[in-house]
């Protein structure tokens, strides 16, 4: 009877797949951290914006008529109402947004993107797009980029709960 080496058995294959998945996760986290630090530095250097400020301005840009209730933006950014107030105080002081009472709900505040805010976020979005192309372009062919994008889309899509235990 011939013995197979331990690494050739089904348990070893499962263990190797498990290690590979953990390595993918680790590299994804490291890459995300590095890219977000670079993005944060570029925003601060070139536009005097934080990532949160950029995200708030971007959400306003994408909103109908460039305005939203402050609570909607705070919820989308996962901010408390106090943190959102401080964020919009800074943006108002710079003339990038304006606040007004919501005519349909006096308790709510509407935040509107100003012309200066619109111009700034337009420039920041273009620069960010260029930065992404510079960072991703040299490392992936068009086919690889589509493959990675499809993988990340699947990863970001909520899946039904299973009986499996999460990886450690």
d(CA 62, CA 68) in angstroms, rounded, equals 10
In the prediction, which pLDDT does 162 show?
64
pLDDT above 70 as % of the chain? 88
Give the residue ranges of the chain where pLDDT is below 70: 1-12, 161-168
In the prediction, which pLDDT does 130 show?
93
- Contact (CB, 8 A) for 112 and 60: yes
DSSP per-residue codes, 39-96: HHHHHHHHH---HHHHHHHHHHHHSGGGEEEHHHHHHHHT--HHHHHHHHHHHHHTTS
In the prediction, which pLDDT does 76 show?
86
In the prediction, which pLDDT does 60 show?
95
Coil, helix or strand at residue 166? coil
In the prediction, which pLDDT does 12 show?
65
Q: What CA–CA distances, in Å, run from 125 to 20, 47, 51, 88?
A: 35, 11, 12, 19
d(CA 43, CA 119) in angstroms, rounded, equals 15
d(CA 70, CA 12) in angstroms, rounded, equals 53
């Amino acid at each position: 009877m011939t013995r197979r080496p331990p690494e050739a058995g089904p348990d070893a294959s499962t263990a190797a797949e498990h290690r590979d998945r953990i390595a993918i996760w680790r590299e994804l986290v490291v890459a995300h951290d590095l890219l977000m630090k670079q993005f944060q530095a570029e925003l601060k250097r070139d536009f005097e914006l934080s990532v949160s400020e950029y995200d708030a301005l971007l959400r306003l840009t994408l909103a109908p008529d460039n305005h939203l209730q402050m609570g909607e933006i705070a919820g989308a950014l996962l901010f408390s109402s106090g943190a959102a107030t401080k964020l919009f105080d800074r943006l108002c002081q710079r003339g990038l947004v304006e606040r007004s009472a919501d005519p349909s709900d006096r308790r709510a505040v509407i935040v509107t993107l100003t012309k200066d805010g619109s111009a700034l976020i337009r420039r920041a979005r273009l620069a960010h797009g260029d930065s992404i192309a510079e960072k991703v372009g040299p490392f992936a062919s068009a086919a690889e980029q589509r493959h990675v994008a499809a993988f990340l889309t699947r990863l970001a899509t909520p899946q039904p709960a299973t009986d499996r235990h999460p990886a450690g």
